[in-house]
Amino acid sequence: MPISALNLWVPALSLDCRCETAYFAHATGAPEPGQLGHGPDAPLIIHASCVAFGGAAVGILGPSGQGKSGLALQLMALGGALVADDRTCLWRQDGQLMADAPAPLRGRIEARGVGILNARANGPAPLRLWVDLAQKETQRLPPMRQCHCLGLSRPVLHNVDSAYFPAAILQYLAVGRSE
């Protein structure tokens, strides 16, 4: 079968980072044992999108159809830069959690009902925040939550059903959150 852009979108493309595909089903705790690559420092590819802003990146988690690419497009419209869409390669480097796109997906993002769009590729970038679209935020002032990946802990936000959520994510990346 000939390889088209659409064919490249679906596979995990694990060979690009020599790692296994994973999705963090439990963003508030450590990943399940089978979800990591081969050892605590081994790189991995997860089913996530990633956008950078001001030198820091946010990883967007969630099942298929949950809106990862849509949120990434909103963040890009507000000045963010695409790191990866649909598949994000993660690894540890100098005490940081780094994110990038597998080579065949670099600079591409899916817009449902529009098609595969080109974007300026930005990455690798240090991942500083997670957003879990599968979890709805129910608290007005939620507690600080953490997601553990490759032995590093990063804050995680649950999905906020509000038009200001993309702007709040970028503000969080830029200057953090009060405790």
Mean pLDDT throughout 121-147? 96
DSSP-assigned states of every residue in 48-83? EEEEEETTEEEEEE--TTSSHHHHHHHHHHTT-EEE
**What is the CATH classification number for the domain harbouring 118?**
3.40.50.300
Instruction: Report which of residues 118 and 39 the model is more confident about.
Output: 118
pLDDT above 70 as % of the chain = 77
Which residues, other chains included, contact 9 with Cβ-Cβ below 8 Å and sequence gap of 6+? 86, 105, 108, 110, 116
**Percent of the chain at pLDDT exceeding 90:** 74
Q: Is the pLDDT of residue 15 over 60?
A: no
pLDDT digits (tens, 9 = 90+) for 146-171: 999 999 999 999 999 999 999 999 99
What is the average per-residue pLDDT within 4-32? 34
Range of the domain at 87: 5-175
pLDDT band for position 43 (cuts 50, 70, 90): confident
41 sits in which H/E element = none
- Model confidence over 48-92: pLDDT tens digits? 999 999 999 999 999 999 999 999 999 999 999 999 999 999 999
User: Domains in the chain: how many in total?
Assistant: 1
pTM over 0.75: yes
- Ordered DSSP codes for 94-144: TTEEEEE--GGGTTEEEETTTEEEE------EEEEEEEEEEEE---SSPPP
